A = this chain, B = another copy of it.
C-alpha cells in the first residue's frame, strides 16, 4: 500500500470468533492521540460497539488513539453486548496504556449470537505485539465477511510544507444501504486537523460516497465509518490547503464506496448511476436511489438487457415529481430513451457493451433543473441468493 499516513500501526490475528481460521480481530493504533470523527448506522437497532464508540467520541470530544475491530460476530441484540464491547475496549486500552475512551470498537458478522469476550481479551497480547506500520493490508483482510476482495484506497496531497497522506479500508458486502455511514470503514490521515473540522470533513465526504451506495437496500445494525487524523506529518493544513485534504479524504471514501458496490454479494458488475437536471440535488439522489434499489433494474443489468422501461419505472417510484416526456436515458453512453420514448439503438451492439464489468446508467431530465447525483450499486445475480440463503446456517 502506497501513501500510508505516518504514525499509524496495524495488527490482525485469528481469535476464533469466526468458524473458518482466518484473521477476525484487528487493531489500528496511532502513537499520538488523534482527532477522530465517526458516523454510524441510522438503524433503530444499533449494535453495542456502535453505542460505545459513539459515546466514547462524545466523552473524549473527538479524540481517539485506537480502533479494535472484530469480524464474524456483530455483537448486536445479545444479552452481554454492551458489557463485551466495554470490557474488550478497556482491556485493549490497558495493553496500549491509553484511556479507555480512546479505544473505539467496531464489529461485523452475525446478529443475535453472544460474543465471548475471552476470545478477544486472550488474543489481545499477541494482537498488540504484532503491531506494525506495514500491516495495513492484514487489517483490511481481517475485517471482511462475505467480501471477496479487500477494499483499500489511499492518496497523497502535496501541501506547501510537504505531503500529507490519506488511506482507508472498508468492508461490504451485503446489508448495504447506508443512511449515514455504512458497514465498517476506517480512514486515516497524518494531517493535523482538530475534531470539529474533521467531523465536517467526514460528514460531507460520507454524503458523496457511502450515502450514495446500495447493494441490497438493507441498512445494517453495525455501520461505522471512522476518520482519524493524528498529525504525524507535522502539517496543519488550513484554508485552501485544508480543502485540498478534504477533497483527498472524500476521494478515498468514494473509492472505498465504489469498491463495496463492485464487490457486493454475488455482484458481477459495478453500476454507476448519474442523474442530471433534476429539480434539486436531493431529488436527484432520491431518483438515483430508487433505480439503485430496484431488483428489476439490477437483474436486467446482470442479464445485459438494455431494459430502459424498468429504469424509468423505478425512477417513477422515487416519490419525486418529474415529467416522463422530458426524460432521456443512456446506457453505456448510448441513448435508449428520449423524451420518455424508445430511442433507436442497436440492441445487439448495446447488449455487447453491457457485458462489460462496469455499467453506467445516466438519466437526464430536459429543462431548467440543476439537481445532480452520482450513485453506486451492483447487479443482482443468483450468487446473492445463494450466499444469503445459506450464510448463517
Residues of A within 8 A of B (CB): 43-46, 74, 76-79, 110-114, 174-175, 177, 179, 216-221, 293-296, 299-300, 302-303, 305, 307-310, 312-318, 320-322, 324, 337, 340-342, 347, 351, 380-382, 384-386, 388-393
Contacts and interface: CB of A to CB of B under 8 A. Distances in A.
B221 A313 contact: yes
B45 A324 contact: yes
Interface SS of chain A: helix, strand, loop or mixed? loop
In the A-B complex, the 5 residue pairs with the closest CB atoms: A111-B309, A303-B389, A45-B316, A299-B388, A44-B316
14 contacts: A44-B318, A77-B312, A77-B337, A111-B310, A111-B313, A113-B309, A177-B317, A216-B296, A218-B310, A218-B317, A302-B389, A351-B393, A382-B385, A382-B386
Given A299-B388, A309-B112, A218 B314 contact: yes
B337 A175 contact: no
Given A351-B393, A381-B385, 15 more contacts: A43-B313, A44-B324, A45-B316, A74-B309, A112-B337, A175-B313, A219-B317, A221-B313, A295-B295, A299-B384, A299-B385, A299-B389, A302-B389, A303-B388, A305-B390
Contacts of A386: 382
A77 B341 contact: yes
Contacts of A313: 43, 45, 76, 111, 175, 218-221
| Interface-centre pick from A43, A302, A318 (highest chain B CB count, 10 A) | A43
A72 to B, nearest CB: 13
Contact of A320 (B44, B307, B312, B342): B44
A299 to B, nearest CB: 4
Contacts of A76: 309, 313
A392 B307 contact: yes
A60 to B, nearest CB: 26
